[in-house]
Amino acid sequence: MMDASYLTPQQIVVELDKYIIGQHEAKRNVAIALRNRWRRMNVKGEMRSEIIPNNILMIGATGVGKTEIARRLAKIADAPFVKVEASKFTEVGYVGRDVESMVRDLVEQSVNMVKAKRKEEVKEKANLAAEEIILDALIPPLKIQTPKTTGFSSTAETPASDEELNERTRNLFREKIKNGELEERKIEINIKGSSGSNVGMIGAGMMDDTSMMNLQEMLNGMMPKKSKKRKVTVGEARRILFEEEVTKLIDMDEVKEEAIKRAEDAGIIFIDEIDKIASGHGKGSGPDVSREGVQRDLLPIVEGTSVNTKHGVIKTDHILFVAAGAFHVSKPSDLIPELQGRFPIRVELTNLTKDDFIHILTDPRNALTKQYQALYEAEGVNLEFSEDAIEEIAQTAFAINAEVENIGARRLQTVMSRLLNEFSFDIPDKIGSNAKILITAELVKEKLSGLVKNRDLSEYIL
C-alpha cells in the first residue's frame, strides 16, 4: 500500500478506482478530505488545532458504493476505521448502545493497529526468546560449576566439558526447531493462566456490551495471574510462548498513547443509515422523539468533545465523520439543523447503470468474476466468462433492480450465485481438476431465465 501522507488527491482517486466503479464526485471529496489531514498535520503554530475536518454526508441508494468508499479510504490512509449504523443507537437513558461507544470502538481499533505494528518490530526478538524456552524444555541447561584446578596443564586431547557438549546439543536441536523437524514433539512448559473466572455484576442491565467488557477486563486485570504447567507440541508451544514474549517486549502504555493520538488525528467513523434517525414528519411524539434524542447525543461527538475510554481520554475534534443514507422517506433537511451543519460536504451518489455493472464485474481487483475464478482455481478448475456473458449478467441484474427493489451492486451477488450454484455443487465430484468451464450468454439466459420471468422474485431478494 502506498504511503497516504504522500498521496495527492488525484492519486487517492486512482487507488479508489481500483475497487469502486463510478461515483467520481464522492471519490474527489473523500480524497480532498484525506489530503487535508496531511496538510493540517504540517501546519505550523496555533492554526493547526483550529482546522477542523469537513465531514461528508453521502446520499444514495443501497449498494452504490457508499460504505466501500469509506472503507477503502481508511485502508489507503492506514487509519483506524469504524462503521456503525445510526439506527442501532438509543438515546441516553434507554437500554442499548450509546453514541459514545463508536468512539470507544475506534480507539480499540487504533490500539490493535499500533499493537500489530509493534508486534512486527519485536517479532524476531520474541521468536528467539520463545525458541530458548523450548530448548530449555527439550535440553535443560547445565548449572555451570566452577572447575576444580589440578596440577596438570590442559592439552588438545582434553575431552569436551559437559557445558560444551550441552551447548553443541542445544545448537543441534536449535537447527532442528528452525527446520520444523520437531513440530510434533511433546514438551512441558509453564503458561501464564488467566487472572481468574469472570466476575459477575449485579445491576448491569443498563450498560451496553462495550462498557460491560471494559469493566470486566478492568476487574480481571486486578486479579493475580497464575502460571500452570502444560504439555503441548513444540509447534503449539512456539505460538503460545511467542505471544507471551511479545507482551513482555511491548510497552502497552506507549501503545495506548500512540493509538489515542492516531485515532484523534487520523480516525474515520462511518455512520451508516443516518436517514433512519431523521424524522420525515417534523416534530412529533413516540419514535420521532427518540430519533431526535439520538441526533442530539450524536451532535457533541461530531462537534468535538472528550470521551472516556478504557485506554484513556480521546478528543473527537479532528476525527473525520462520514455519514450516509438512502433518504428515500426522509430528507437530509429533516435532520436537526445543528447536525446538518456538521456535515458541510454533501455528495449525491448516482444509481448504477447496466454499463456500471459490466465494469463492476470485470474491472476492480476484487471483482466478483475474479473471486469465483479464484475459488474454482483452488479446486483446479478453470472458469472463464465470455464478453456477451458478462453483458447478459449485468443486464439481468439491472432488470431485476428495476422491477423489484434497487439494491445496487449487491444484486450481482444474487445473480452470480444463482448462475454458478450448480457448478459449485458439482465440483469436485462431477467436475474434476483440470476441467474448464466457459460461461456464455446462452448459458446465462438458460440459468437465469426463471429469475427474469418470475415477476414476484421475492425468493431471490437479499
CATH of the domain at 67: 3.40.50.300
- What is the DSSP code (8-state) at residue 275? G
Task: Please say which residue of 186, 215, 249 terminates a domain.
Answer: 249
* Grid cell for residue 16: 479508489
Do 64 and 169 lie in one domain? The reply is no
Give a yes or no: residue 148 inside a domain.
no
Angle between helices 24-41 and 66-77 (to 10 degrees): 30
Alpha-carbon span 404 to 38, nearest angstrom? 44
Give a yes or no: residue 413 inside a domain.
yes
Do 110 and 9 lie in one domain? The reply is yes
Detail the DSSP E strand segments found in 380-448: 382-385, 436-439
Amino acid, single-letter form, for residue 301: I
Do 324 and 358 lie in one domain? The reply is no
Three-state secondary structure of 176-209: HHHCCCCCCCEEEEEEECCCCCCCCCCCCCCCCH
* Grid cell for residue 219: 476487574
Do 245 and 132 lie in one domain? The reply is yes
* pLDDT value, residue 375: 95
Give a yes or no: residue 61 inside a domain.
yes
* pLDDT value, residue 284: 47
Do 21 and 109 lie in one domain? The reply is yes
Residue 374's CATH number: 1.10.8.60
For residue 132, give the nearest of 184, 171, 185 by alpha carbon. Answer: 171
Structural domain count of the chain: 3
* pLDDT value, residue 96: 67
Would you write out the chain's pLDDT as a tens digit for each of its 462 residues?
A: 445 557 899 999 999 999 998 899 999 999 998 898 888 888 988 898 889 899 999 999 888 889 889 889 888 888 899 999 998 887 766 666 889 999 999 999 999 999 999 999 999 999 888 888 888 888 776 665 555 544 444 444 445 577 778 778 878 887 888 777 777 888 888 877 654 445 555 444 445 555 555 566 656 566 566 677 878 888 888 888 888 889 889 999 999 999 999 999 999 999 999 999 887 544 444 555 578 888 999 999 999 999 999 999 999 999 999 999 988 888 898 899 999 999 999 999 988 889 999 999 999 988 999 999 999 999 999 999 999 999 999 999 998 888 877 888 888 998 999 999 999 999 988 888 889 999 999 999 998 887 665 545 555 554
Do 328 and 264 lie in one domain? The reply is yes
Task: Please say which residue of 323, 348, 373 terminates a domain.
Answer: 348
Do 241 and 127 lie in one domain? The reply is yes
Alpha-carbon span 62 to 442, nearest angstrom? 30
Give a yes or no: residue 456 inside a domain.
no
Task: Please say which residue of 227, 249, 271 terminates a domain.
Answer: 249
In contact, 277 and 86? CB cutoff 8 Å: yes
Give a yes or no: residue 8 inside a domain.
yes
Give a yes or no: residue 22 inside a domain.
yes
DSSP element (H, E) containing 283: none
- List, for residues 293-305, the tens digit of each pLDDT value: 889 999 999 999 9
For residue 91, give the nearest of 228, 255, 286 by alpha carbon. Answer: 286
Give a yes or no: residue 422 inside a domain.
yes
Q: If you search the block for the grid coordinates 526468546, which residue do you land on?
A: 129
* pLDDT value, residue 62: 86
Do 334 and 404 lie in one domain? The reply is no
In contact, 142 and 163? CB cutoff 8 Å: yes
Where helices occur in 47-100 by DSSP H, the ranges are 47-50, 66-77
Give a yes or no: residue 153 inside a domain.
no
Do 371 and 340 lie in one domain? The reply is no
* pLDDT value, residue 267: 93
Do 172 and 280 lie in one domain? The reply is no
Q: Give me the domain span that covers residue 99.
A: 4-116+260-348
The pTM score is: 0.77
DSSP element (H, E) containing 148: none
Do 105 and 14 lie in one domain? The reply is yes
Do 88 and 107 lie in one domain? The reply is yes
Number of H helices, E strands in the chain: 17, 11
Alpha-carbon span 19 to 26, nearest angstrom? 14
* pLDDT value, residue 175: 81
